[in-house]
Amino acid sequence: MKKTSTRLADGRELLYYDARDDVVRDAADPRPLDAVSTTAEVRHDVLLGDTVAIASHRQGRTYHPPADECPLCPSRDGRHSEIPAADYDVAVFENRFPSLAGELGRCEVVCFTSDHDASFADLTAEQAGLVLEAWTDRTADLAEVPGVEQVFCFENRGAEIGVTLQHPHGQIYGYPFVTPRSALMLRSAAGHRAATGRNLFDDVVAGELAEEARVVLEGAHWVAFVPYAAHWPYEVHLYPKRRVPDLRALDEAARTEFPQVYLELLRRFDRIFGPGEPPTPYISAWHQAPFTAEGRDDFALHLELFTIRRTSGKLKFLAGSESGMSVFINDVPPEAAAERLREVAS
């Protein structure tokens, strides 16, 4: 992998990740851009103990542009986008409309491919492996940024999820605090350690492997399963079999196998609801250990992949119980979801 760092016209950092070492990335950004101005702030909720980002400037972000005005496509035929190069493998740049900025963290956009009409599931294993390298490199770099406590790599796919740019891309957040979900996991892991002397994540993975009913697929170094108490209609958790706290600690064997396992999962997601159905909307979220939190060594890196579609043409809405009380009601039994995801294997 070759990494090239450059700057956009307004000073934001742009990084190219290339599979070949001989690629030269020297295209300049000629756009007359004003400096990025944000209103981002972070507020603490004293009742719930969590944190909310307030970012009113995001109201003006790009919203469903036509394909020929996509800001994530390469710059070609006289049209200049966020990517000055005429082609690229993987590109990462600072978001022009960040939810977190400056001393309050960092938000980045990750373009998985220059092909506007592709999806992550269309990537080759080599391309997916390059994205993994980019995620890992950004985690390592952001770990050195003062004030960044946790790195979150994720992808939103589909209009139903709220995606406003159709080009295949994801995002990376560098949070200046431990996220609420991670704090809950750390608390549960600490309680389990105190009660049993064992690691909670290890016991969860071992239990799923032993029971088998919810295992979707298993490789030599990764296992994917629907969790026992799945919140979403179709939800899969993907764990490396050797527990590590974050992407930086994956060994070469796990890195090599990841693309095949992950691409197979994504392709199965697109087949859940049968032929002729539109692509399945999903959120794909890497859970990594916060950098300095107590209990970091007990945390287990894993990816959570889920869809809000519960059946053909119907979405799972977060209504009163979910939104008002954070009590999820799942219409699809986890065992049935796992069976369906096994049925649609390629």
123-130's contacts with Cβ under 8 Å and 24+ in sequence apart are 123/259, 123/263, 125/259, 125/260, 125/263, 126/19, 126/259, 127/19, 127/89, 127/90, 128/258, 128/259, 128/262, 128/263, 129/255, 129/256, 129/258, 129/259, 130/1, 130/17, 130/19, 130/89, 130/90
pLDDT digits (tens, 9 = 90+) for 195-254: 999 999 999 999 999 999 999 999 999 999 999 999 999 999 999 999 999 999 999 999
d(CA 151, CA 139): 6
**255: phi then psi, degrees, rounded to nearest 5:** -65, -40
Per DSSP, the three-state class of 125 is helix
Given a cut of 90, whether residue 39 has pLDDT beyond it is no
Mean pLDDT of 155-164: 95
Question: Cα angle at 93 between 131 and 18, to 5 degrees?
Answer: 40
Q: What is the value of pTM for the model shown? A: 0.97
Catalogue the active-site residues: 169
169-208 pLDDT per residue, tens: 999 999 999 999 999 999 999 999 999 999 999 999 999 9
Structure tokens at 225: 């399963």
